[in-house]
Amino acid sequence: MKTLTDATALSAWAAEARAEGLTLGFVPTMGYLHEGHRSLMRLLRPRVDRLIVSVYVNELQFAPHEDFDVYPRDPEGDAAACEAEGTDLLFMPDALYPPGFATRVSLPALDGVLCSESRPHFFTGVATVVCRLLHLTRCNVAAFGEKDFQQLTIIRRMVEDLAMDVEIVGGPIVREPDGLAMSSRNAYLKGIDRERAVTLSQALFDMQARVATGERDVPALVERARELLRVDEVDYLQVVDSRTLEPLTWLDGPARVALAAVVGRTRLIDNVALEPPGT
Ligand code: AMP
């Protein structure tokens, strides 16, 4: 496995591989890699000739009061994980944006709901970094987790809107044995907070089960789910159209329920698909 820290070197490496006719797969991450990240590498590995993984904690997607400075980092562990998954190129830059970088990519139509309400800077930061990384690698396919469902939706939209020549693949959420969605931020959870964190997935699975047995009234589903949560604050608990992210009040077809909640000082997100019978 080769490791590069410079954007120009990444771009040159990828251009050379493409010139040789090789296909490129790409998994962008912020590091502190866990099974969720690794599942995306495993998803792409058999599909491409060369697998690229990036590890970069993107300053553009953090607000000043957020956890950029303390975001967990483990470059050696990340390199070992990438190597074990058969990565060809690990891109681990200290800085990703050139001096004078002034561009922002934003998707206002998808940016007014869910996470964007409490983190208004967030998806512009994500879309901007992903756009830059996709241009640097010019990969054939890139993988993103359904764990960040709004992010996946936004990236699919951006790629379509900007006619970017890349396939976007979504990977299912990887969970701890008790159901907690894996996240680098789970490292913040200690003692009772770790126990309370599991109520996010429990509430969502309960909702999923109720929908499977015929409940379609969204306010009733949400009320019951809120009762199951043992968290300090619910940022949102919303049932949305899977494609447009528009909030729904009645289930006419497949939808997604998305949840963000604060446990102690840790903000966690999770989501599951809702599939009403007969739709
Ligand atoms: P992050 O390092 O948090 O920016 O995540 C990098 C990629 O890994 C994103 O596409 C995430 O959606 C994905 N990811 C993070 N956690 C999980 C998980 N538990 N299951 C599947 N994918 C995940």
Query: What's the pLDDT at 114?
Result: 80
The residue contributing the CA closest to ligand 1 atom 5 is: 29
- For residue 274, give the nearest of 197, 217, 198 by alpha carbon: 217
37 flagged as catalytic? yes
Query: What's the pLDDT at 113?
Result: 74
Contacts of residue 128, defined as CB under 8 A and 6 or more positions apart, other chains included, come to 60, 103, 104, 105
In Å, the largest CA–CA distance within the chain is 57
- For residue 174, give the nearest of 164, 182, 166, 165 by alpha carbon: 182
Q: What secondary structure letter does DSSP report for 133?
A: H
Tell me, using a 6 A CB cutoff, whether residue 41 lines ligand 1.
no
Query: What's the pLDDT at 8?
Result: 97
Mean pLDDT by 10 residues, the chain (279 residues): 98 98 98 98 98 98 91 97 98 97 92 74 94 98 97 96 98 98 96 98 98 97 98 96 92 95 96 93
Query: What's the pLDDT at 278?
Result: 86
Query: What's the pLDDT at 110?
Result: 80
Ligand 1 centroid from CA 175, angstroms: 11
- Residue 218 phi/psi, 5-degree rounding, is -65, -45
Contacts of residue 245, defined as CB under 8 A and 6 or more positions apart, other chains included, come to 110, 113, 114, 150, 153
Of 26, 29, 178, 266, the residue with max ligand 1 atoms within 8 A of its CB, to mutate for a pocket test, comes to: 29
Tell me, using a 6 A CB cutoff, whether residue 30 lines ligand 1.
yes
